[in-house]
């Protein structure tokens, strides 16, 4: 538990960097760079993910410029990598391209579910940590794997709620709560968020932050959804600190039963 | 044959990474760009001096929207 939370003073610290926003934003899937810029502003996010792909000389506009103008910190990902080797090379290229040693480490083990490949993930994390990276691994909702990653020295763990882009929310809230207990580093709920209530639930379960990508980018109104996610993360964080009432099987009257008139 | 971003190129052995960048209309100040040759990162400081081998595979990457 984090005790009483005041939103003004409540900062998220990852690897020594302090952020007021607890919402991480993925930049994938936005219909235009203009829409992305508006969504970043609405989300309040200070940390946004980018991918590395081959230069396309015909591409219009510069994502790098848009993100620089937004004043956000970049979190390069290794999306699309299926081996530790590919992920390590991609991270090193990202460090070169974006001048940051932070990496959202993704090593995918299955094409249909895009679930992480645990052994490759551990291998890549170990190598990148030795090379001085700040590693934020995208992981399954397995508390033991999360602990292993944290023990290696990862700066945070990013367990999935459900498969990337599925919008199925948090399929195993119990495991997410166990992960929060299992590690000392920040827990960022990543993947599967479909709407604002999923983000609020993640925070109520004790997550330190939420990452949203498709849920915002592919919403009918991405800017409005960015705003909704921002509010949901704040609400969930406050509710976690406030301490919810226990669940009970039967009703408990909220109005005193003493002094009831007898007719 | 030197392959640039998965495509056959007219680059010849001995030409530098900078020449490969020029083929993609990029100059040496291009922001947010990284280069790998045969799976190894070539740091920006070496772009002008790193000479490509006969069968070099050059990857020139930049920021793309992604999760």
Q: Are A88 and A142 in contact (CB under 8 A)?
A: no
Planar angle of CA A58, A63, A69, nearest 5 degrees: 140
- Asked whether residue A1 carries a pLDDT value surpassing 50, the answer given is no
Whether B6 and A54 lie within 8 Å, measured CB to CB: yes
Confidence label for A254 from pLDDT (cuts 50, 70 and 90): confident
Bridging pattern class, strands B40-42 and A23-26: unpaired
Confidence label for A6 from pLDDT (cuts 50, 70 and 90): low
Q: What pLDDT is attached to residue B36?
A: 94
Whether B24 and A55 lie within 8 Å, measured CB to CB: yes
Find the residue in A nearest to B24 (Cα). A57
B3-62 topology per CATH: Ubiquitin-like (UB roll) (3.10.20)
The answer to whether residue B6 neighbours chain A at the CB level (below 8 Å) is yes
Q: Which residue has the tokens 């002094």?
A: A259
What confidence tens digit (pLDDT) does each residue in A96-140 have? 999 999 999 999 999 999 999 999 999 999 999 999 999 999 999
CA A11 to chain centre: 15
Q: What pLDDT is attached to residue A7?
A: 56
Which of B3, B6, B40, B63 is the best residue to mutate to test the A interface, defined by the most A CB atoms within 10 Å of its own CB?
A: B63
Find the residue in A nearest to B41 (Cα). A93
The kind and range of the H/E element at A53 are: strand A47-54
Q: How many angstroms separate the CA of residue B23 from the nearest CA in chain A?
A: 9
Q: How many angstroms separate the CA of residue A88 from the nearest CA in chain B?
A: 10
Which of A55, A74, A89 is the best residue to mutate to test the B interface, defined by the most B CB atoms within 10 Å of its own CB?
A: A55
Query: Which residues, 6+ apart, have CB-to-CB distance to A172 below 8 Å?
Result: A141
What confidence tens digit (pLDDT) does each residue in B53-67 have? 999 999 999 988 887
Identify all chain B residues contacting A37, using CB atoms and an 8 Å cutoff. none
- CB contacts < 8 A, A to B, total 96
Q: Are A199 and A232 in contact (CB under 8 A)?
A: yes
Q: In the numeric block, which tokens belong to residue B36?
A: 């790998």
Sign for the pseudo-dihedral over CA of A188, A194, A200, A202: negative
Q: What pLDDT is attached to residue A145?
A: 98
The residue ranges of every structural domain in chain B are 3-62
pTM of the model: 0.89
Name beta bridge partners: A238: none
Q: Residue A126 and residue A246: Cα distance in Å, rounded? A: 40
Per DSSP, the residues of A69-127 read HHTPEEEEB-TT--SHHHHHHHHHHHHHHHS--EEEE--B--TTT--B-HHHHHHHHHH
Q: Which residues of chain B have pLDDT under 70?
A: none
Q: What is the mean pLDDT of chain A?
A: 93
Q: Residue B40 and residue B32: Cα distance in Å, rounded? A: 17
- Asked whether residue A144 carries a pLDDT value surpassing 50, the answer given is yes
The answer to whether residue B53 neighbours chain A at the CB level (below 8 Å) is no
Domains and CATH numbers, chain A: 12-242 (3.20.20.70)
Closest to A55 (Cβ–Cβ): which among B5, B40, B67?
A: B5
Q: Are B36 and A85 in contact (CB under 8 A)?
A: no
- Report, in angstroms and rounded to the nearest whole number, the Rg of chain A calculated over CA atoms: 20
The kind and range of the H/E element at B3 are: strand B3-4
Q: What pLDDT is attached to residue A65?
A: 86
Name beta bridge partners: B29: none
Whether B31 and A65 lie within 8 Å, measured CB to CB: yes
The answer to whether residue A96 neighbours chain B at the CB level (below 8 Å) is yes
Identify all chain B residues contacting A74, using CB atoms and an 8 Å cutoff. 63
Helix (H, G, I), strand (E, B) or coil at B60: strand
Would you name the residues of A annotated as active-site residues?
104
Whether A55 and B33 lie within 8 Å, measured CB to CB: yes
- Asked whether residue A3 carries a pLDDT value surpassing 70, the answer given is no
- Asked whether residue A193 carries a pLDDT value surpassing 90, the answer given is yes
Please give the ipTM for the structure prediction. Answer: 0.90
Name beta bridge partners: A136: A104
Q: Are A221 and A215 in contact (CB under 8 A)?
A: no
């Amino acid at each position: 538990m984090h005790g009483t939370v005041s939103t003004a003073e409540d900062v998220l610290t990852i690897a020594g960097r302090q952020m007021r926003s607890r919402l991480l934003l993925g930049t994938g899937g936005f219909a235009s760079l203009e829409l992305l810029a508006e969504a970043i502003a609405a989300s309040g996010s200070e940390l946004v993910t980018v991918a590395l792909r081959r230069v396309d000389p015909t591409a219009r506009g510069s994502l790098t410029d848009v993100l620089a103008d937004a004043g956000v910190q970049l979190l390069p990902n290794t999306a699309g990598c299926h081996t530790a080797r590919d992920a390590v090379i991609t991270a090193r290229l990202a460090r070169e391209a974006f001048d940051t040693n932070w990496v959202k480490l993704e090593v995918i083990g299955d094409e249909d579910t895009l679930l992480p490949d645990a052994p490759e993930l551990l291998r890549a994390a170990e190598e990148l940590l030795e090379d001085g990276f700040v590693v934020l691994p995208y992981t399954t909702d397995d508390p033991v794997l999360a602990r292993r990653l944290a023990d290696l020295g990862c700066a945070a763990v990013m367990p999935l709620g459900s498969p990337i882009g599925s919008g199925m929310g948090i399929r195993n809230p119990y495991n997410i709560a166990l992960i929060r207990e299992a590690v000392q580093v920040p827990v960022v709920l990543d993947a599967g968020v479909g709407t604002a209530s999923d983000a609020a639930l993640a925070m109520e379960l004790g997550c330190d932050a939420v990452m949203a990508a498709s849920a915002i980018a592919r919403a009918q109104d991405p800017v409005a959804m960015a705003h909704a996610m921002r509010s949901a993360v704040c609400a969930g964080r406050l509710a976690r600190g406030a301490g919810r009432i226990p669940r009970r099987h039967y009703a408990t009257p909220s109005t005193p039963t003493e002094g009831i008139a007898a007719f | 044959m030197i392959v640039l971003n998965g495509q056959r190129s007219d680059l010849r052995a001995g030409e530098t990474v900078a020449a490969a960048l020029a083929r993609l209309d990029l100059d040496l100040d291009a922001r947010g760009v990284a280069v790998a040759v045969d799976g190894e990162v070539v740091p920006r400081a070496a772009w002008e001096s790193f000479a490509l081998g006969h069968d070099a595979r050059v990857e020139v990457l930049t920021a793309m929207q992604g999760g």
